[in-house]
Amino acid sequence: MAVPAQYYLLLSAAIFCIGLFGVLTRSNALIFLMSVELMLNAANINFVAFSLQHGNLTGQVFALFGMAIAAAEVAIGIGIILVLYRNFSDVDVTKATTMRW
Amino acid sequence: MVDPTWLATAPALAFGAAALVLLLADSVDPDTTNATVLGGIAVAGSLVSLAAAVYLLYGGVGIPTGQGGTGPAVILGGQLVVDQMALFFMTITASVTALVTLASVDYVREHAYQAEFYSLVLLSATGMSLLSAANSLATAFVAFELVSLPSYALVAFLKKNRGSVEAGLKYFLVGAVSSAVFAYGISLVYAATGVLRFDAVAMAIESGTVRTVVDGSVQAQASGASVPMSILGMGIIMIIGGLAFKMAAVPFQFWAPEAYEGAPAPISAFLSSASKAAGFVLAFRAFAVAFPIDALAGSGAVDWFVVFQVLAIATMFIGNFAAATQETVKRMLAYSSIGHAGYVLIGLAALSATGDGMAFSMSAGMAHLMVYGFMNTGAFLFIALAEYWGVGRRFEDYNGLGKQAPVACAAMTVFLFSLAGLPIGGGFFSKFYLFQATLNVSAWSLAAALVINSALSLFYYSRVVKAMWIEEPTGERTIESYPTGLYTAIVAAAVITVLLIPGFGYITDVAFRAVELL
């Protein structure tokens, strides 16, 4: 194999952490969604890389499921952000504070 | 044997079919707001699911043929397994869904999107039923998302209500992050073991070498690579994180008070009872089957029961102490539901390092979830009734309600005292059983946390009871109607909560056998 497996792990861990950093620091709901996508796709990198490493297709199949579910999640997320915008005239997640945190 | 085998998933199929019927009814007549028909379909679907689950549970699906059963139903090459554990939790899901849909008939009667409401509830319930039977991290992840995605939409369902939208947003944000953490944890477990099926993961851990599944049978990998324990341990911890979100346990409990407070009250009941149980069934199955505690002990991966001990104690204290300081009843119940997640976590925490006591403590957790399914659903449905009447949200607003609605308030008293652990409902016995589980393995810190928090919980639950029965009403309040659906659901939940006192021995027998047969 051309690239050793641990480099894929490093890459996916880096992407996961970038996503997590975005989740924790950004207040724009759309950027938040993109960050979550990064985290989900970090998992997909692992699945595809180790599917090749282990020589079975389980990981690739899971990656397909993962992408489909991520798409569904974004669809719901965009819907919620839309009603957020209608009610609060903003997509800032820190602005919606009618309840005590 | 159920023939054909896939029919053993009938409890899940009934939910799915009813959801599709509702969507069909909605496309035939999009403008209908006929609450009786739409709610009727949803209630009927839930009752069919309940009947199927109880029938299969009694029929001995999952009990080996030698012991008078018909063996577990293995579906899709072992991706789904319907056994006693799965059916036990399918029964909880179906009971809670039936109560919630019945109560919703009155709650969303005036709403324009009733068909969508019920079909989302039923789709989420489909996911919960499937999650009970998931025997692979792949099916677990898909079912997990099938539970989550409709529930995000349900929490934000009152889309002109700022509280509901805010609750939906927060629930979605925390949920999206935790499902990404969950997916990443699964990818690490796959990276370490090469398989996703629970039994295959267990074999990889026990043998210490990577496995592969060929034609349904688990085999050693040709390369003979060993399982990297540090990656596996990391994966297990992240999976616990993903599950903690579903259970509303520390560290992903932040969403719960917001989501339960802002959501329509029947949805709060649904999420805090059924959705929590779904998270726990996956945890029970995954940690009993896929990550054997004795093989992991000293392997350098992770002793997961220690993680659960920390989470259980933290969850109990955070949930109960926060509940004691609340001013609104619904938010108090939301925090108390976090506290109850901590009690049930004892089922995964009160173990010895070699896994002794697992059957006892897990079955105690299961029994508590069963009782909790009724008493907590009932308590939230009482809140739904109060919202329906336009009673305020604070404790004082409940003053003197006992004189105007004695039946509902009596039921609420049963729920609250049972939640606190007084022997007026099944909650006393399930907590006592959990307490025994902690003593069995000398987990003194867990036992102390359970006792302290139960005592504390009696204080804040009785504030509601005191307001309802003892205080005089402060303002003018007129109750115009007594909604049949809500009342039926509340009274049914109360009756079952009380009936679980004599029936508790039976519940624990079924739960104990279910864990032993895993």
pLDDT in tens, A14-67: 999 999 999 999 999 999 999 999 999 999 999 999 999 898 899 999 999 999
Residue-averaged pLDDT of chain A: 91
Whole-angstrom distance, CA of residue B351 vs CA of residue B359: 9
Whole-angstrom distance, CA of residue B394 vs CA of residue B388: 15
Element of type H or E holding A50: helix A29-54
Closest by CA to B154, choosing from B126, B114, B127, B182, is B114
Query: Within a domain: residue A5?
Result: no
Whether B247 and B278 have beta carbons less than 8 Å apart is answered as no
Residue type at B437?
Answer: A
Chain A residues within an 8 Å CB radius of B163: 98-99
Chain A residues within an 8 Å CB radius of B191: 5, 9, 46, 49-50, 53
Judged by CB atoms closer than 8 Å, whether chains meet at B184 and A16 is answered as yes
Q: Does the beta carbon of B403 lie under 8 angstroms from any beta carbon of chain A?
A: no
Chain A residues within an 8 Å CB radius of B180: 16, 19, 36, 39-40, 42-43
Whole-angstrom distance, CA of residue A14 vs CA of residue A54: 22
Across chain B, which distance is largest between two alpha carbons, in Å? 78
* Count of A-B CB contacts under 8 Å: 137
Judged by CB atoms closer than 8 Å, whether chains meet at B149 and A86 is answered as no
Per-residue confidence (pLDDT) for residue B1, from 0 to 100? 60
Chain A residues within an 8 Å CB radius of B222: 55
Q: Does the beta carbon of B323 lie under 8 angstroms from any beta carbon of chain A?
A: no
Question: If you measure CA to CA, which chain A residue comes closest to B257?
Answer: A101
Judged by CB atoms closer than 8 Å, whether chains meet at B173 and A93 is answered as yes
Q: Which domain holds residue B399?
A: 303-518
Nearest CA of chain B to the CA of A3: how many Å?
15
Query: Within a domain: residue B167?
Result: no
Cis? peptide before B257, omega within 30° of 0 = no
Phi first, then psi, for residue B211 (nearest 5°) are -115, 170
Chain B residues within an 8 Å CB radius of A1: none
Place of tokens 């699906």: B61
Number of domains in chain B: 1
Per-residue confidence (pLDDT) for residue A38, from 0 to 100? 95
* CA angle, residues B490, B492, B498, in degrees to nearest 5: 105
pLDDT tens per residue across span B240-273: 999 999 999 988 888 999 999 999 999 999 999 9
Spatial CB neighbours of B515, under 8 Å, sequence gap ≥ 6: B85, B284, B288, B358, B359, B362, B363, B366
In terms of Cβ atoms closer than 10 Å to its own Cβ (0-12, 13-18, 19+), residue B385 is buried
Query: Within a domain: residue B296?
Result: no
| Range list of H helices, B29-161 | 35-58, 84-107, 114-133, 137-155
Whole-angstrom distance, CA of residue B449 vs CA of residue B384: 31
Chain A residues within an 8 Å CB radius of B200: none
Judged by CB atoms closer than 8 Å, whether chains meet at A59 and B190 is answered as yes
Whole-angstrom distance, CA of residue A61 vs CA of residue A52: 12
Whether B70 and B247 have beta carbons less than 8 Å apart is answered as no
Query: Within a domain: residue A65?
Result: yes
Per-residue confidence (pLDDT) for residue A100, from 0 to 100? 54
Structure tokens given for B434: 């959990």
Q: What is the pTM of this model?
A: 0.95
Query: Within a domain: residue B324?
Result: yes
Nearest to A96 among B160, B166, B213 (CB): B166
pLDDT (tens digit, 0 to 9) for every residue of chain B, 518 residues total?
A: 677 889 999 999 999 999 999 999 999 988 887 889 999 999 999 999 999 999 999 988 988 888 888 889 999 888 999 999 999 999 999 999 999 999 999 998 888 889 999 999 999 999 999 999 999 999 999 999 999 999 999 999 998 999 999 999 999 999 999 999 999 999 999 999 999 999 999 999 999 889 888 877 888 887 778 889 999 999 999 999 999 999 999 888 889 999 999 999 999 999 999 999 999 999 999 999 999 888 887 777 788 999 999 999 999 999 999 999 999 999 999 999 999 999 999 999 988 777 778 889 999 999 999 999 999 999 999 999 999 998 888 998 898 888 889 999 999 999 999 999 999 989 999 999 999 999 999 889 999 999 999 999 999 999 999 999 998 887 777 787 889 999 999 999 999 999 999 999 999 999 999 999 98
Number of domains in chain A: 1
Nearest CA of chain A to the CA of B117: how many Å?
15
Query: Within a domain: residue B241?
Result: no
Q: Which domain holds residue A47?
A: 28-88
Query: Within a domain: residue B44?
Result: no
Q: Is the pLDDT of residue A1 over 60?
A: no
* CA angle, residues B204, B137, B176, in degrees to nearest 5: 135
Residue A55 gets the label, from left (phi > 0), alpha (psi -120 to 50) or beta, of left
Per-residue confidence (pLDDT) for residue B250, from 0 to 100? 87
Query: Within a domain: residue B412?
Result: yes
Per-residue confidence (pLDDT) for residue B224, from 0 to 100? 79
Chain B residues within an 8 Å CB radius of A97: 166
What band does A101 get if pLDDT is binned at 50, 70 and 90? very low
Query: Within a domain: residue A84?
Result: yes
Nearest CA of chain A to the CA of B374: how many Å?
28
Per-residue confidence (pLDDT) for residue B296, from 0 to 100? 85
Chain B segment 203-262 residues within 8 A of A by beta carbon are 210, 212-213, 221-223, 231, 254, 258, 261-262
Interface pTM (ipTM) of the complex? Answer: 0.96
Query: Within a domain: residue B164?
Result: no
Judged by CB atoms closer than 8 Å, whether chains meet at A81 and B169 is answered as yes
